[in-house]
Amino acid sequence: MTLRGCMIGNSHVTCMAQAWEEIASYHPEIALTFFGSPGQTLTGTVLENGCIVPESEKIRRTFEMMAKQDRIVLKDYDFFVLVGARAGVGVVAQIQRLFQLRDQPSRAGARYLASDAAFRAALWDYYATGGISHVADLLRAADVEAPIFCFSSPNADIRVKKMGNAFSGFYAEYAEAPALAPLTRMETWLARQMRDRGLIPLPQPAETVVEDIMTESRYSIYADTLARGETPDQDDVRHMNADYGKLALRDLFAKIRTMGLQPLVSAA
């Protein structure tokens, strides 16, 4: 029996789609269909007669480009995978910076302008207003029986530290500082909120992570995304390539095996 998986994501889903093209023949027990739309545009989808349907022509085109379908028929799948959530330790670091006093030498012993409760509220709001959270809400409203896995957006490529722009300066502040514990505590809290809402969070593949909140460059260079079309950009430090996608799919399939997931009766 073949397990049918539905991969739904923003531009970060592209690396997994590319990886699947290379490794699908090694996994005859699984069939994956990819639906993607860049940025947070997935917020422009609605639940209609058991389907997730685009409200705009732009989203419809990207669905058709990847899946050859203009809507997601929920009953056709045994599991769902959401890719590119506004969660993970890298996102926590970005939110935390907003609460930190300026000119702190490192995040070890840094002073903050708000309580953990305020930090958690901001973190949750950032996650909950994103496209992936919106799709998760639609799946929950549809009462799908299938499990819903979720990957956060990946940490930035460590090359960003050497790029000499505002973005690199921001990440250098966190990548070079010690004291990961406050970030991990908040990441764990957010993952717990996601699980409480029926999601199964999956971490970034361990071997891709360097300096706690960054990604090793070989998993990012020459990444392709929905946002740019077919032309890779060797200076993209936010998106990952097919090598990253293969590791993410490996971890997904390992989780599926440990769960003993079987095709749904209704999909037989």
In this structure, the number of other CB atoms found within 10 A of the CB of residue 232 comes to 15
pLDDT of residue 90: 83
Residue 174 pLDDT level (bands cut at 50, 70, 90): low
Range of the domain at 44: 3-86+132-155+188-267
CATH code, 150: 3.40.50
Q: In what order do the strands lie in the sheet with 45-48?
A: 45-48, 51-54, 72-73
Residue 173, in any domain of the structure = no
Residue 172, in any domain of the structure = no
Residue 175, in any domain of the structure = no
Residue 54 phi/psi, 5-degree rounding, is: -65, 145
Taking 50 as the threshold, does the pLDDT of residue 151 lie above it? yes
Q: Are strands 79-85 and 72-73 parallel, antiparallel or unpaired?
A: unpaired
Residues 6+ apart with CB under 8 A from 28: 2
Q: Judge whether 204 and 155 are in contact, CB under 8 Å.
A: yes
- Judged by average pLDDT, the poorest of 74-83, 117-126, 232-241 is 232-241
CA dist., res. 22 & res. 30, Å (int): 14
| Maximum mean pLDDT: which of 111-115, 180-184, 222-226 | 180-184
Look at 228 and 182; give whichever has higher pLDDT: 182
* Per-residue CA distances from 47 to 37, 124, 169, 195, 233 (Å): 16, 23, 41, 22, 35
Whole-prediction pTM: 0.90
Residue 98, in any domain of the structure = no
Q: Judge whether 147 and 83 are in contact, CB under 8 Å.
A: no
Residue 170, in any domain of the structure = no
Q: Which candidate, 68, 198, 66, places its Cα nearest to that of 138?
A: 198
Residue 59, in any domain of the structure = yes
Count of domains forming the chain: 1
Taking 70 as the threshold, does the pLDDT of residue 173 lie above it? no
Residue 221 phi/psi, 5-degree rounding, is: -60, 140
Residues 6+ apart with CB under 8 A from 171: 156, 160, 161, 213, 214
CA dist., res. 260 & res. 29, Å (int): 13
Residue 163, in any domain of the structure = no
pLDDT digits (tens, 9 = 90+) for 208-234: 999 888 899 999 887 766 545 555 555
Residue 31, in any domain of the structure = yes
